[in-house]
Amino acid sequence: MNRRAFFNWSVAGLAAVWSAVGIAVGAVARFLVPSVFYEPPQNFKIGNPGDYSFGAPTLLPDEKIFVFRDQEKGFAVASAVCTHLGCTVQWFASDDRFHCPCHGSIFTANGEVAHGPAPRGLEWFEVTQARDGQLRVDKSRVVPASYRLVVKA
Protein backbone atom coordinates (compact mmCIF):
# COMPACT_ATOMS: atom_id res chain seq x y z
CA MET A 1 0.00 0.00 0.00
CA ASN A 2 1.23 3.52 -0.59
CA ARG A 3 2.33 5.87 2.10
CA ARG A 4 -0.85 7.88 2.17
CA ALA A 5 -3.02 4.84 2.67
CA PHE A 6 -0.62 3.52 5.31
CA PHE A 7 -0.79 6.82 7.12
CA ASN A 8 -4.58 7.03 6.98
CA TRP A 9 -5.13 3.53 8.25
CA SER A 10 -2.64 4.17 11.03
CA VAL A 11 -4.45 7.32 12.07
CA ALA A 12 -7.76 5.49 12.05
CA GLY A 13 -6.30 2.71 14.15
CA LEU A 14 -4.80 5.13 16.65
CA ALA A 15 -8.05 7.05 16.86
CA ALA A 16 -9.90 3.83 17.65
CA VAL A 17 -7.32 2.87 20.27
CA TRP A 18 -7.36 6.26 21.95
CA SER A 19 -11.15 6.33 22.07
CA ALA A 20 -11.08 2.89 23.63
CA VAL A 21 -8.62 4.22 26.19
CA GLY A 22 -10.83 7.20 26.89
CA ILE A 23 -13.91 5.05 27.33
CA ALA A 24 -11.94 2.66 29.54
CA VAL A 25 -10.85 5.56 31.75
CA GLY A 26 -14.49 6.59 32.07
CA ALA A 27 -15.45 3.02 32.95
CA VAL A 28 -12.73 2.84 35.59
CA ALA A 29 -13.96 6.09 37.09
CA ARG A 30 -17.51 4.71 37.32
CA PHE A 31 -16.10 1.46 38.69
CA LEU A 32 -14.51 3.34 41.57
CA VAL A 33 -17.76 5.05 42.56
CA PRO A 34 -19.38 2.83 45.20
CA SER A 35 -22.81 1.44 44.32
CA VAL A 36 -23.67 0.43 47.89
CA PHE A 37 -22.70 1.96 51.22
CA TYR A 38 -21.89 -0.15 54.23
CA GLU A 39 -23.30 2.47 56.56
CA PRO A 40 -26.56 3.02 58.35
CA PRO A 41 -29.07 4.36 55.82
CA GLN A 42 -29.69 8.09 55.38
CA ASN A 43 -33.37 7.44 54.82
CA PHE A 44 -35.15 5.43 57.52
CA LYS A 45 -38.38 5.02 59.45
CA ILE A 46 -38.64 6.00 63.09
CA GLY A 47 -41.92 4.44 64.16
CA ASN A 48 -45.48 5.64 64.38
CA PRO A 49 -46.51 9.21 65.24
CA GLY A 50 -48.25 7.88 68.35
CA ASP A 51 -44.92 6.71 69.77
CA TYR A 52 -43.74 10.28 70.32
CA SER A 53 -44.74 12.52 73.19
CA PHE A 54 -45.54 16.21 73.00
CA GLY A 55 -43.33 18.85 74.54
CA ALA A 56 -39.72 17.87 75.13
CA PRO A 57 -38.05 16.35 72.09
CA THR A 58 -37.20 12.65 71.99
CA LEU A 59 -33.58 11.76 71.38
CA LEU A 60 -32.92 8.76 69.13
CA PRO A 61 -29.29 8.04 70.09
CA ASP A 62 -28.49 5.53 67.33
CA GLU A 63 -29.79 7.76 64.58
CA LYS A 64 -28.50 10.89 66.34
CA ILE A 65 -31.66 12.95 65.87
CA PHE A 66 -34.20 14.77 68.04
CA VAL A 67 -37.88 14.29 67.24
CA PHE A 68 -40.06 17.26 68.14
CA ARG A 69 -43.81 16.92 68.38
CA ASP A 70 -45.94 20.03 68.71
CA GLN A 71 -49.70 19.99 69.48
CA GLU A 72 -50.66 22.32 66.64
CA LYS A 73 -47.69 22.48 64.43
CA GLY A 74 -46.75 18.82 64.01
CA PHE A 75 -43.42 16.99 63.72
CA ALA A 76 -39.88 18.24 63.17
CA VAL A 77 -36.58 16.39 63.25
CA ALA A 78 -33.25 18.01 64.13
CA SER A 79 -29.74 16.68 64.01
CA ALA A 80 -28.26 15.89 67.44
CA VAL A 81 -24.70 16.24 66.19
CA CYS A 82 -22.91 19.37 67.39
CA THR A 83 -21.54 21.30 64.43
CA HIS A 84 -18.34 22.06 66.32
CA LEU A 85 -16.64 18.67 66.61
CA GLY A 86 -19.44 16.11 66.41
CA CYS A 87 -20.51 15.31 69.98
CA THR A 88 -24.16 14.46 70.67
CA VAL A 89 -25.94 17.48 72.19
CA GLN A 90 -28.51 17.21 75.01
CA TRP A 91 -31.81 18.97 75.45
CA PHE A 92 -32.28 20.94 78.62
CA ALA A 93 -35.94 21.75 79.33
CA SER A 94 -34.86 24.25 82.01
CA ASP A 95 -33.70 26.77 79.43
CA ASP A 96 -35.29 25.27 76.29
CA ARG A 97 -31.88 24.87 74.73
CA PHE A 98 -29.53 22.22 73.40
CA HIS A 99 -26.25 22.01 75.31
CA CYS A 100 -23.16 20.29 73.99
CA PRO A 101 -21.21 18.55 76.79
CA CYS A 102 -17.88 18.70 74.99
CA HIS A 103 -17.01 22.34 74.55
CA GLY A 104 -20.03 24.21 75.82
CA SER A 105 -21.83 25.11 72.60
CA ILE A 106 -25.48 26.08 73.15
CA PHE A 107 -28.22 25.98 70.52
CA THR A 108 -31.70 27.51 70.70
CA ALA A 109 -34.87 25.52 70.24
CA ASN A 110 -34.66 26.46 66.55
CA GLY A 111 -31.18 25.02 66.27
CA GLU A 112 -29.41 28.37 65.93
CA VAL A 113 -26.11 28.86 67.70
CA ALA A 114 -26.73 30.79 70.94
CA HIS A 115 -23.27 30.52 72.38
CA GLY A 116 -20.00 28.68 72.08
CA PRO A 117 -17.50 27.46 69.47
CA ALA A 118 -20.05 25.89 67.13
CA PRO A 119 -19.79 27.53 63.70
CA ARG A 120 -23.26 26.70 62.39
CA GLY A 121 -26.70 25.84 63.68
CA LEU A 122 -28.10 22.32 63.97
CA GLU A 123 -29.56 20.95 60.76
CA TRP A 124 -33.21 20.08 60.37
CA PHE A 125 -34.06 17.03 58.30
CA GLU A 126 -37.07 16.30 56.16
CA VAL A 127 -39.63 14.12 57.89
CA THR A 128 -42.53 12.66 55.93
CA GLN A 129 -45.18 10.08 56.54
CA ALA A 130 -44.67 6.74 54.79
CA ARG A 131 -47.54 4.83 53.30
CA ASP A 132 -47.79 2.48 56.25
CA GLY A 133 -48.26 5.47 58.55
CA GLN A 134 -44.78 5.54 60.04
CA LEU A 135 -42.62 8.64 60.14
CA ARG A 136 -39.74 8.64 57.68
CA VAL A 137 -36.63 10.78 58.10
CA ASP A 138 -34.35 11.62 55.18
CA LYS A 139 -31.00 12.95 56.38
CA SER A 140 -29.93 13.73 52.85
CA ARG A 141 -32.60 16.43 52.63
CA VAL A 142 -32.00 19.44 54.85
CA VAL A 143 -35.02 21.70 55.49
CA PRO A 144 -35.41 25.08 57.17
CA ALA A 145 -36.07 25.20 60.92
CA SER A 146 -39.67 26.22 60.28
CA TYR A 147 -40.48 22.95 58.47
CA ARG A 148 -43.24 20.93 60.10
CA LEU A 149 -45.01 17.73 59.20
CA VAL A 150 -48.65 17.82 60.14
CA VAL A 151 -49.95 14.33 60.67
CA LYS A 152 -53.58 13.39 60.42
CA ALA A 153 -54.32 11.62 63.67
Partner 1 sequence: MENRTPQVFFALSLIVLALLMGAIFQASSPAWKAYQHQFYRLEAQQEPTAAAKESVMNGAVSIRQILLPGLQRVDRCTTCHLGVDDPTMAKAPQPFTYHPNVGPHLVARFGCTICHGGQGLAVDKTNAHGRVAFWSQPLLTKDYVRASCGRCHKEGDVPGVPELAEGRRLFETHGCRGCHKLNGVGGSIGPDLTEEGANHRQPEWLKRHFLDPNSLSPSSPMPNFHFTDEQARALTFFMLSLTSEQMGAYYSSVRVIPSPELGRKLFAEKNCITCHSVGGVGGRTDSPDLAGVTRRHSIGWLDEQLVNPEMISPGSLMPAYELGSNERKALIGFLNVATAEDAMQMLTGRPKALNPEAALIEAGKQNFSRFGCVGCHGLEVQGGVPNPNSQGGEVPSLVHVADDYTKVEVAKIIRNGKMPPLADAKKPAPPLYMPAWKQMLTDEEISRIVEYLWSLQPKKEAAW
Partner 2 sequence: MISISEVYRSIVRRDPLSTEKGKAELVFLNLWLHIHPVKVKKENFRIRHTWYLGFITFYLFLILVGTGVALMFYYRPYPAQAYQDMKDLQFVVFMGSFLRNVHRWAAHGMVICVILHLCRVFYTASYKKPRQFNWVVGVVLLLLTLGLSFTGYLLPWDQLAFWAITVGTNIGGYAPLLGAKIKEVLLGGHNVAEGALIRFYVLHVVVLPALVVLFTMLHFWRIRKDGGLSRPVWKLEEETTTEGLVQIGSAAASPPRNESVSAASNDKTYGLMEVVTGSPLFETVATEQVDEEVFSFPFAFYREAIAFLITLVSVMAISLAWSAPLEEIANPAKTPNPAKAPWYFLGLQELVSHSAFVGGVLAPTLMVLLLLAVPYLDSNPSRRPAARKWAIWIFTAFMLVNFVLIIVGTYFRGPGWALTPPWVHVAGHE
- The residues of the shown chain that bind partner 2, judged by CB under 8 A, are 10, 27-28, 30-33, 35-36
In this complex, which beta carbon is closest to partner 1, that of residue 1 or of residue 32? 1
One-letter amino acid for residue 40 of the chain: P
Please answer whether residues 91 and 57 qualify as being in contact, where contact means their C-beta atoms are separated by less than 8 angstroms: yes
Residue 93's binding partner among partner 1, partner 2, none (Cβ under 5 to 8 angstroms by kind) is none
Q: How far is the CB of 142 from partner 2 (least distance, A)?
A: 28
Q: How far is the CB of 87 from partner 1 (least distance, A)?
A: 24
In this complex, which beta carbon is closest to partner 1, that of residue 72 or of residue 132? 132
Q: How far is the CB of 23 from partner 2 (least distance, A)?
A: 12
Nearest Cα residue to 90 out of 52, 116, 127, 64: 64
Q: Three-state SS across 101-131? A: CCCCCEECCCCCEEECCCCCCCCEEEEEECC
